[in-house]
Amino acid sequence: MIRTRFAPSPNGPLHLGHAYAALVAHDVARARGGECILRIEDIDGTRSRAEFVDEFLRDLEWLGLAWDGDTVFQSRRLASYAEAGERLKTMGLIYPCTCTRAEIAAAAQEIGPDGPIYPGTCRHRAADPAHAAWRLDVAKATALTGPLAWTDEAAGPQSATPDIFGDVVLLRKDLPASYHLAATLDDATDGITLVTRGMDLFPASHVHRLLQALLGLAVPTWLHHPLLVESARDGELRKLAKRRGAPSLADRRRAGEDGAAIAQALREGRLPAGISLSQGVHQAP
Ligand code: GLU
Ligand code: ZN
């Protein structure tokens, strides 16, 4: 049986792009007689707000989406992330880094999917672990695992290239986790067999595949779906975003719009003027 998930972060209201992601996760599971869970990715203490979570639950119900089992909250799983972090420390695969963002930007030689690639400054220096983020030594880790592969249902078989981000942060200075570590552990804990999420996270899956190998986790299949995009002022197509004025689902719900009809329109590919779906399959850079 397949099991998928919708995993929003409560750091802003949901908009139509989130509704699309939720529908993909939900409908793929329903179409195949599987299950879909709702996971709230609320470990970013500075940006997460409990009020958004209440709104999310109302928005999703308004769209006509129901989830299997209890809603999962990442903030309740910090101990398990920390435990995995300790295992990676014991394996000698993560190292403390005290570099600031500005130092990294100044020293970086390359730009990766998330911005400047960390140049490895602390890899061989004993940074003070008390005030450090912990980074994965990707070269050491991949030497240990050997070549890895994974499959996206739309894009097909992939050879893992986890080095595209450089040495990613797995434990933040303020948190015993990072997005990569928490999401990978959760997908295993939650028994997710098909990771559905937006194509913007396609590169991250290379890193997640490596973490699965290092931590002995089950390997799911992925389905990275297109994103809802709109033309920005500069004429470029950009992902819908609250900060560019995408109306929130909560506002539309309160204005009395019909959520089930909005969901149905998305399913049929009827999109509001100016909004379209990004290309269907991830293109290698
Ligand atoms: N929490 C992430 C987001 O809202 C999604 C992470 C994932 O699906 O892996 O963009
Ligand atoms: Zn550093």
Number of the ligand 1 atom closest to the C-alpha atom of 198: 8
Ligand at minimal distance from the CA of 181 is 1
Please work out whether the CB of residue 183 comes within 6 Å of at least one atom of ligand 1. Answer: yes
CATH number, span 3-76+226-278: 3.40.50.620
Q: What is the pLDDT along the chain (285 residues), one digit of tens a residue?
A: 999 999 999 999 999 999 999 999 999 999 999 999 999 999 987 888 999 999 999 999 999 999 999 999 999 999 999 999 999 999 999 999 999 999 999 999 999 998 999 999 999 998 999 989 999 999 999 999 999 999 999 999 999 999 999 999 999 999 999 999 999 999 999 999 999 999 999 999 999 999 999 999 999 999 999 999 998 778 788 888 877 778 999 999 999 999 999 999 999 999 999 899 997 555 443
Query: Model's pTM, two decimal places?
Result: 0.95
The pair phi, psi for residue 141, each rounded to 5°, is: -65, -45
Angle, helices 202-215 vs 179-189, to 10°: value is 60
- The sign of the CA dihedral 81, 210, 146, 219 is positive
Superfamily (CATH H level) for 79-171 = HUPs (3.40.50.620)
Distance (Å) from CA 125 to ligand 1 centroid:
33
User: In terms of C-beta density within 10 A (0-12 exposed, 13-18 middle, 19 or more buried), how is residue 157 classed?
Assistant: exposed
**Domains of the chain by residue range:** 3-76+226-278, 79-171
Single-letter amino acid code for the residue at 24: V
Q: 97 has which bridge partners? A: 133
Q: 198 has which bridge partners? A: 225
From residue 108, alpha-carbon distances to 115, 140, 207 in Å are 10, 20, 20
Among candidate residues 84, 77, 28, the one with its CA nearest the CA of residue 225: 28
* 268 CB-near residues (< 8 Å, 6+ apart): none
Helices and strands per DSSP (H, E), number in the chain: 9, 15
Token pair, residue 70, equals: 């209890």
Please work out whether the CB of residue 154 comes within 6 Å of at least one atom of ligand 1. Answer: no
Q: What angle do CA 48, 226, 159 make, to 5 degrees?
A: 95
* Secondary structure of residue 119 in the 3-state scheme: coil
Among candidate residues 213, 272, 218, the one with its CA nearest the CA of residue 93: 213
Helix/strand/coil (H/E/C) assignment for every residue in 164-195: HHCCCEEEECCECCCHHHHHHHHHHHCCCCEE
Among candidate residues 78, 50, 40, 92, the one with its CA nearest the CA of residue 172: 78
What span, in angstroms and rounded, lies between the C-alpha atoms of 227 and 101? 28
Please work out whether the CB of residue 8 comes within 6 Å of at least one atom of ligand 1. Answer: yes
Domains 3-76+226-278 and 79-171 belong to one CATH topology: yes
Q: Which residues surround ligand 2, an ion (CB under 5 A)?
A: 97, 99, 121-122
* Secondary structure of residue 263 in the 3-state scheme: helix
Q: 15 has which bridge partners? A: 248
What span, in angstroms and rounded, lies between the C-alpha atoms of 82 and 50? 23
Q: What angle do CA 280, 282, 285 make, to 5 degrees?
A: 140
Number of the ligand 1 atom closest to the C-alpha atom of 196: 8
pLDDT at residue 81, rounded to an integer: 98
Please work out whether the CB of residue 187 comes within 6 Å of at least one atom of ligand 1. Answer: no
Angle, helices 259-267 vs 50-62, to 10°: value is 70
What span, in angstroms and rounded, lies between the C-alpha atoms of 222 and 242? 26
Cβ count within 10 A of residue 147: 8
pLDDT at residue 285, rounded to an integer: 37
